[in-house]
Structure 1
């Protein structure tokens, strides 16, 4: 009698399903008294509500997990791994952003990509960055863009390289953005070949409204007297000048004019570009490098007017190049003020090996001690070899080996470098 009552109460409170109660209760020790069973019954009934809540919560969590790891989730992860080349870890992460129900749609997208030169590496990179592309309708949204870019001279290799690195291009409107951008760029650059070069090297200017952002700045530059012939240079090499915010553009132009740059000269463009590329904090940090080397404000202004681009070098490059030229090669700081463009030359590949050669020649009395290094470092490779290496091949046969093999930072310690003797 008591057994039946317990069973019915547990079933009614949904603590256990109907078919689970009988085996459990039948296993109870038959020697248990009715009093003990009643006490147990009170305990179960008292906690029935909390037990029901707990079991329902567990049931919901289990259902959620089963949906997440269901067929749709498993198919998406599997497809991303097997068809798109993603690693299991990345595939799981990407699957949170896109859900694939079948392979029909993504297969059509991958087919279009492969037909236009996309390698497995390109596809993996593209899908990782923009997985929603797998759900696109390629005949409507992808193929027309590919055909347009190819019509202006973009090769399949260029198309694959640019689109995998800048996938936002494929999500932009062909009629309302890509074609208008092309027309504007061509109106400035004049030739499709230059537009294609811009597409290859500065692809990001295609997925924003370049005409809207650049045209007002070009109008201001015209009013200042900047020659029209400079505009292709600005758009192809210094596009950040006309694509920055209007207030920043105005401020940087005022700085350049305030430092005495003539808008009719190309250095004005270089100066505005240097201000554009450096935040105020970065600028002050680089300026401090030269102050620590003993430059006055007037010396810095003189150097900047001669070569504004040197401020585009990283702070670390400025420090290491200044240290090498002054502390290892014995240059005076005023020498660098006179020739600041030397700070843009590659330290490891050109400055150090050429200076090593000159040091050897000076140690043997074959060249002057006080010769200017700037023209030596700026010489093209063939002329430098003819004038300072091949010319002394009989006298110093090790010279070519010194030039070719000592290109690393270990050569910075000139005092510890042992120059070979005859």
Structure 2
């Protein structure tokens, strides 16, 4: 039978005042994080385990860190988010550890308010080595983006680029350039549209290129970059689910590919919106699948807009104004200004109800 484990005896008993001092320090730290850094009580309690800003009662270092952030234009929200995500920053040396990183970013062209946003989203960069991490990373970004101003633009759109390992920034671009033959000018356009492409792994790049090519768009086609940028926002299962929704309404593979070529944004809408819009267009509005394939940008317009436009067209038909059936999809795909010019402003004096219809006061019940 196993022997009962004995509780170990302490050779040097810990005085109770040790625990009271430790508890007092933790309480002071939590209070400081709440009152000075804006953390919630729960977040402050979690952060207090990583930093003791009040031990032994002094907050001078943490105060200096916060003062440094404010000098670089950090908002109070930026400071709160930075400390919440990376509380040990308050124990960092503001002069030797933190300011050199901020100065480096400033030398690239980062200014307020981007400073605070970048650091609050990527606070770990304050503890990265300038020589071993930041310099190689920005050298890689320059190779891809061409200039510091382009880097800053990319960071503004995709701040998480700062989390990349230096060599990782080149993998996606090398795959596009060397494997798929995308020209440097096309790569530049793609990054301008979607800076986050830098973060894609080669396998993901290959996956997106395959979808674009399956749709009949090859590298060099002006639509290639635009289509790649939109598809890169969707994971493969999401895209396949959208294809399945279209198939459920009778669209075949060629139909979907044609819509993708004509208007890539048609794949950016949610599955639920696709279902509701197709049901409306082929139901109440009386359009055919061919109409949707011909004008896929109808899929991105809101149902409310479609209903109001159809109500206007229904009023015009009721009043004997010629609105041919083949004109309905054209009327639904044009810009708001163009629609109102053609169907509201042209008729509202003779048919005042068109004004009420375009403002949603007359419901659309079908043609």
Q: Structures share a fold, TM > 0.5?
A: yes
Partner of residue 79, structure 1: 32
Long gaps (5+) in structure 2: none
Displacement of 1:107 in angstroms is 0.7
CA distance 1:226–1:282, change in 2 (3 Å) = same
Secondary structure of the residue that 1:288 maps to in structure 2? helix
Contact 1:126 1:163 in 2 (8 A): yes
Partner of residue 343, structure 2: 388
Contact 1:218 1:242 in 2 (8 A): no
Partner of residue 136, structure 1: 92
Matches within 5 A, 1:365-376: 365-366=320-321, 368-373=323-328, 375-376=330-331
CA distance 1:394–1:259, change in 2 (3 Å) = closer
Structure 1: distance between partners of 2:239 and 2:145:
31
Secondary structure of the residue that 1:98 maps to in structure 2? coil
Higher RCO (CA 8 Å, separation ≥ 6 residues): 2
> So what's the TM-score if we normalise by structure 1?
0.71
Q: Could you say which structure has the larger radius of gyration? A: 1
Contact 1:172 1:207 in 2 (8 A): no
Cα deviations across residues 144-183 of structure 1 (Å, max 9, x unaligned)?
3333333444331222233323434434333333344334
Partner of residue 415, structure 1: 365
Deviates more, 1:83-92 or 1:239-248: 239-248
Structure 1: distance between partners of 2:345 and 2:235:
46
Pick from 14, 18, 41 the counterpart of residue 88 of structure 1: 41
Contact 1:177 1:207 in 2 (8 A): no
Pairs aligned (count): 357
Secondary structure of the residue that 1:331 maps to in structure 2? coil
Structure 1: distance between partners of 2:196 and 2:69:
31
CA distance 1:235–1:175, change in 2 (3 Å) = farther
Displacement of 1:199 in angstroms is 1.1
Matches within 5 A, 1:17-96: 66=19, 70-96=23-49
Structure 2: distance between partners of 1:358 and 1:68:
78
Displacement of 1:398 in angstroms is 5.7
Pick from 282, 285, 302 the counterpart of residue 238 of structure 2: 282
CA distance 1:283–1:82, change in 2 (3 Å) = same
1:226 matches 2:182: yes
Q: Which is helix-richer, 1 or 2? A: 1
Structure 2: distance between partners of 1:286 and 1:384:
29
CA distance 1:198–1:366, change in 2 (3 Å) = farther
CA distance 1:386–1:155, change in 2 (3 Å) = farther
Contact 1:240 1:273 in 2 (8 A): no
1:314 matches 2:264: no
Matches within 5 A, 1:326-341: 326-341=282-297
1:364 matches 2:316: no
Displacement of 1:131 in angstroms is 1.6
CA distance 1:286–1:137, change in 2 (3 Å) = same
Matches within 5 A, 1:147-226: 147-209=103-165, 211-215=167-171, 217-218=173-174, 220-222=176-178, 224-226=180-182
Structure 2: distance between partners of 1:284 and 1:382:
35
CA distance 1:404–1:144, change in 2 (3 Å) = farther
Partner of residue 206, structure 2: 250
Cα deviations across residues 309-359 of structure 1 (Å, max 9, x unaligned)?
43232222222222332223222122112222332x341675454444444
